[in-house]
């Protein structure tokens, strides 16, 4: 979502920080729930954005509309239960947190329209912030669900596939970043992401009633 004015640029910063921070916190918290002390020991069970930012991924999120944070490290050997399934849940936690925040943003836009119909300076800023918060959370959720290592989608798919197929997927992790960069620079990711993100945003704004204000 491009922003063409100063208010948009100022609103984008907290929107991006919130989306990234809650995404990574959700990964760490889910791993912690299943017995892994690694995220807490590395200071990742916090809502302090500085613990989660990846410089390149954050910059791309501003400039290109998609990006990533510093991955939360987990150790599946600590998991209490089926490690494969728990790893899938840990990976799913980040995108699901972003979708929850996106839903709340859409509801916030609806409430803003109902109770603050005027367009004062603060209302304008809050409207822009909520739209960007909705946008960036949907982008992070959809982008991370792409089943290419090291994105969350690859681990989610690995948890769903039979063992022999998931092992093949995991073996591709060393090539994952190169494959991902190739998909980004050839525009394949952008084609998929733009359509999927817009569909999700349209759905969320429709069910929240934003389209009618």
- pLDDT tens digit sequence for 76-103: 999 998 998 999 999 999 999 999 999 9
| Boundaries of domain holding 176 | 6-212
**Residues 49 and 19: beta-carbon distance below 8 Å:** no
- pLDDT tens digit sequence for 155-203: 898 888 887 777 777 777 777 778 877 887 787 888 888 889 999 999 9
Top pLDDT among 5 and 50 is at 50
φ and ψ of 178, to 5 deg: -65, -40
Say if residue 33's pLDDT is above 80.
yes
Number of domains forming the structure of the chain: 1
What pLDDT is attached to residue 83?
A: 92
Asked if residue 25 is part of any domain, the answer here is: yes
Asked if residue 109 is part of any domain, the answer here is: yes
Asked if residue 1 is part of any domain, the answer here is: no
- pLDDT tens digit sequence for 142-156: 999 998 888 899 889
d(CA 213, CA 211): 6
Rounded to 5 degrees, what angle do the CA atoms 134, 93, 20 make?
A: 45
Asked which of 31-40, 107-116, 144-153, 160-169 is least confident by mean pLDDT, the reply is 160-169
Asked if residue 151 is part of any domain, the answer here is: yes
Task: Tell me whether residue 40 is one of the annotated catalytic residues.
Answer: no
Asked if residue 76 is part of any domain, the answer here is: yes
Top pLDDT among 107 and 211 is at 107
Catalytic residue (one of 24, 40, 163, 167): 24
d(CA 69, CA 20): 6
How far is the first Cα of the chain from the last one, in angstroms, to the nearest whole number? 20
Asked if residue 56 is part of any domain, the answer here is: yes
Mean predicted lDDT score pLDDT of the chain: 85
Asked if residue 132 is part of any domain, the answer here is: yes
Asked if residue 74 is part of any domain, the answer here is: yes
Say if residue 213's pLDDT is above 50.
no
């Amino acid at each position: 979502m491009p922003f063409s004015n100063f208010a948009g640029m100022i609103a984008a910063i907290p929107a991006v920080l919130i989306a990234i921070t809650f995404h990574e916190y959700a990964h760490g918290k889910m791993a912690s729930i299943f017995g892994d002390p690694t995220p807490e020991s590395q200071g990742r069970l916090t809502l302090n954005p500085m613990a989660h930012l990846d410089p390149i991924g954050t910059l791309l999120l501003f400039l290109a509309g998609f990006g990533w944070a510093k991955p939360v490290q987990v150790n599946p050997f600590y998991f209490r239960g089926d490690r494969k399934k728990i790893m899938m849940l840990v990976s799913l936690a980040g995108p699901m947190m972003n979708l929850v925040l996106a839903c709340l943003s859409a509801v916030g836009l609806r409430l803003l329209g109902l109770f603050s119909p005027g367009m004062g300076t603060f209302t304008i800023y809050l409207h822009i912030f909520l739209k960007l918060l909705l946008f960036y959370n949907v982008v992070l959720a959809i982008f991370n669900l792409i089943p290419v290592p090291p994105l969350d989608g690859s681990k989610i798919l690995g948890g769903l596939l039979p063992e022999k197929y998931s092992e093949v997927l995991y073996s591709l992790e060393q090539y994952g970043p190169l494959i991902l960069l190739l998909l980004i620079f050839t525009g394949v990711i952008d084609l998929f992401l733009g359509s999927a993100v817009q569909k999700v945003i349209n759905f969320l704004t429709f069910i929240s009633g934003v389209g009618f204000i």
